Amino acid sequence: MILIVGLGNPGEKYKKTRHNLGFMVVDGLQKIHGFSDWQMKKKFKAEISQGTINNQEVILAKPQTFMNDSGMAVKRLIHDLRFKNYDLFVVHDDLDLELGKIKVVRNRGSAGHKGIQSIIDQLATKDFVRFRLGIGSNLKLKMATEDFVLKSFTKEENEVIKETIKKTCQLIVSYEFNCC
C-alpha cells in the first residue's frame, strides 16, 4: 500500500495558487485512475481518496492543516494506517526549481520548504520520496516568498502547469511500481 500526499492549503482562496501544486497533482491522480470521491477525515486532518493502480492499493491525501503544519496530518496517516516511511510519497511545489521542472528525491532535507520541514519534524526522518515541482522564482518579481507562492499562475504558466501535472502523475505511477 502506498500513501501519496499532495501538499497545499485548504480553501477556495488558495485553490489555484502555486503553493497548491501538490493538491493539483493528487486531484489529477484521483481523476485519471477513478479513485473514490474526496472525503474529509477529521481524525487524519486530511481529505482522503482511495483506489488502486496496477493492483496496488493507494491512498491519496490532502492535509487540511495548512502547508506549514502538514506534518501533523502525515504523521497521523502514517501511524494510524500503519504505513512505513518508505511507502510515503510527498508531492509539493518548489521555488528553487524553474517552472515545469520535476525532480524526485529521497532522504533529503527540506531546503527551506516549511511543509516538508513539518513532515520531517513530525516523522523524525527525511527518508521518504518527494516529487519536487518547479514553480519558478520570486527573484525575477522581487517579492516576498510568501506572497509569490500564494499567487495564482499566469495564463501562460497554466499551460506549463497542466503538462507538469500530467507528467508528474505518469512519473509517480512508474516510480511506484519500478522501485518499491
Residues belonging to the active site? 19
Task: Measure the CA–CA gap between 117 and 41, rounded to whole angstroms.
Answer: 23
Distances (CA, A) of 8 to 37, 67, 81, 92, 112: 18, 5, 21, 8, 16
Contacts of 106 (CB under 8 A, 6+ apart): 127, 128, 129, 130
Task: Count the Cβ atoms, other than its own, within 10 Å of residue 77.
Answer: 23
Q: Which long-range contacts (CB under 8 A, 24 or more apart) does 47-54 make?
A: 53/173, 53/176, 53/177, 54/173, 54/177
How many Å separate Cα 35 from the centre of its chain? 17
For residue 127, give the nearest of 104, 102, 108 by alpha carbon.
Answer: 108
Report whether 89 contacts 2 (CB < 8 A). Answer: yes
